[in-house]
């Protein structure tokens, strides 16, 4: 005679789907074996249960044993998650683990994860091993830069950590794998002094910019990119800081009668990042403006006032320094295209990007003999180590300082 199972023991029974042919062992009976495990109790006293099924009693016992193993490892078995894959875990992290991040950040993480998910995305998360992760990273490294592989590995670790926090996996196997070296990426370049002068001259003298139809801004005056390039090159501000700069944060006159005198300056307090924050807290800074930058910004301010008058009621009063023909923020893609055209006209080639104006700023200061500590302070690097790693070939260990040198270099031009 069968005895009642004790409290806490698993329940196993046979569910008939036809007439019973073997009351003792149900060997030839139509139906399935069912197993049940109690996980705990809800706040109102109801049992939380997980059920499994199988064609044989032995398979059900194995599944119940596996559930117990998960509980022992701190994993809470959840219905429907037996076949939970790495791709599902990544999608859940992208959808729910990046709250507060911009859509651009989510897309970036999705893009660097995709090469990894193509290789191991179909693997069940519970069965994923460090060997699988190493294999996927190695395949990604064969076609991507080291920086992209590092970002992909970091995103994978964060996605699995999100599943780990939800008790869907016992450990983060991605953290057990090292990041392999990928392909050599495109190195940042810097313009020489002669090239920088040629670019500034081309920006000042080129006629109205003609961009292909379909872009947000079709015609742009030369004063726009001349001011943009001069400001970026002579102060070293980042591209996202330049596009978010407001006239309220620009003082082209200063106050020379004050004690101490206040020179013309620009307050870099914003960027196009989420919520308008700069890259770091230390990136909020006020920089003195070289005379060449003051002249370029004055010329652009006059031209922008004419555009505002021409736009009439269609003008968007954003207060931004660098705008399209209706006062809205400049599109990053248009800035890159206009900058490439200027570089081509200057005879330095079209393989340059606006962010390399910042690299040129550092390199010119270094070439002129500014100390690495002063360069790191002006460029708002976290430490001189960042400056050394990125600009080591250009550095010279002689001490002097910033905006005055830029005046000396560019006033004559």
Catalytic residue (choose from 81, 144, 228, 391): 391
The tokens describing 169, both together, are 């996996």
Q: Which residue has the tokens 């197993």?
A: 35
**Residues 399/377, Cβ–Cβ less than 8 Å:** no
Catalytic-role residue among 279, 282, 385, 396 = 279
Q: Please, are residues 196 and 233 in contact by the beta-carbon 8 Å criterion?
A: yes
Q: Which residue in the list 87, 238, 270, 341 is annotated as catalytic?
A: 238
- The reply to whether 238 belongs to the active site is yes
How are the residues of the chain apportioned to helix, strand and coil, as percentages rounded to the nearest 5?
A: 50, 10, 40
* Count of C-beta atoms within a 10 Å radius of residue 143: 11
User: How distant, in Å, are the alpha carbons of 52, 77, 100, 111, 133 from that of 160?
Assistant: 25, 16, 19, 17, 11
- CA distances 267 to 78, 168, 278, 290, Å, are 53, 48, 12, 14
Q: Which secondary structure element, helix H or strand E, spans residue 34, and what is its range? A: strand 31-41
- For residue 32, what are the β-bridge partners? 15
Q: How many CB atoms lie within 10 A of CB 261?
A: 9
Q: What is the DSSP letter of 238?
A: -
Residue 152 CA from chain centroid, whole number? 11
Q: How far, CA to CA in Å, does 367 sit from each of 251, 261, 372, 376, 398?
A: 29, 29, 11, 14, 9
Please confirm, yes or no, whether 243 is among the known catalytic residues.
Answer: no
- Residue 228 is among the residues annotated as catalytic for this protein: no
What secondary structure letter does DSSP report for 251?
Answer: E
> Alpha-carbon distance 267 to 409, whole Å?
23
Q: How far apart, in Å, are the Cα atoms of 335 and each of 185, 186, 226, 277?
A: 22, 20, 12, 21
d(CA 234, CA 32): 77
Q: Is 81 one of the catalytic residues? A: no
| Residue with tokens 């007439």, as numbered in its chain | 19
Buried b (16+ CB within 10 A) or exposed e, 337-369: bbbbbbbebbebeeebbbebbbbbbbbbbbebe
Which residues are annotated as catalytic?
238, 279, 358, 381, 391
């Amino acid at each position: 005679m069968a005895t009642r199972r004790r409290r806490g023991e698993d329940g196993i029974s046979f569910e008939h789907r036809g007439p019973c042919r073997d009351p003792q062992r149900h060997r030839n009976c139509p139906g399935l074996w069912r197993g049940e495990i109690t996980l705990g109790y809800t706040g109102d006293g109801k049992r939380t249960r997980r059920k499994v099924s199988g064609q044989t009693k032995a398979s059900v016992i194995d599944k119940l044993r596996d559930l117990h193993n998960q509980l022992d490892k701190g994993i809470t078995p959840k219905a429907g998650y037996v076949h939970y894959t790495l791709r599902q875990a990544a999608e859940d992290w992208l959808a729910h683990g990046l709250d507060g991040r911009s859509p651009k950040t989510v897309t970036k993480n999705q893009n660097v994860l995709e090469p990894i998910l193509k290789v191991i995305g179909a693997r069940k998360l519970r069965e994923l091993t460090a060997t699988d992760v190493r294999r996927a990273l190695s395949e990604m490294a064969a076609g991507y830069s080291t920086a992209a592989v590092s970002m992909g590995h970091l995103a994978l670790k964060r996605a699995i950590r999100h599943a780990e926090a939800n008790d869907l996996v016992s450990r983060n196997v991605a953290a057990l794998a090292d990041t392999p070296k990928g392909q050599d990426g495109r190195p940042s370049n810097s313009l020489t002094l002669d090239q920088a002068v040629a670019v500034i001259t081309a920006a000042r003298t080129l006629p109205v910019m003609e961009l292909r139809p379909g872009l947000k801004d079709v015609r742009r005056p030369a004063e726009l990119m001349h001011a943009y390039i001069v400001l970026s090159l002579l102060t070293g501000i980042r591209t996202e800081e330049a596009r978010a700069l407001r006239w309220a944060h620009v003082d082209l006159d200063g106050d020379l009668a004050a004690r101490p005198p206040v020179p013309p300056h620009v307050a870099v307090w914003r960027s196009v990042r989420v919520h308008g924050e700069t890259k770091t807290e230390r990136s909020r800074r006020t920089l003195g403006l070289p005379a060449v930058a003051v002249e370029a910004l004055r010329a652009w301010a006059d031209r922008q006032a004419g555009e505002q008058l021409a736009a009439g009621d269609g003008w968007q009063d954003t207060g931004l320094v660098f705008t399209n023909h209706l006062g809205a923020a400049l599109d990053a893609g248009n800035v890159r295209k206009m900058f490439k055209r200027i570089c081509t006209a200057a005879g330095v080639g079209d393989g340059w990007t606006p962010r390399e104006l910042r690299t040129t700023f550092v390199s010119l200061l270094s070439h002129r003999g500014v100390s690495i500590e002063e360069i790191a302070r002006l460029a708002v690097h976290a430490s001189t180590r960042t400056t050394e790693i990125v600009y080591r070939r250009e550095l010279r260990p002689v001490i002097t300082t910033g905006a005055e040198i830029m005046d000396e270099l560019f006033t004559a031009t």
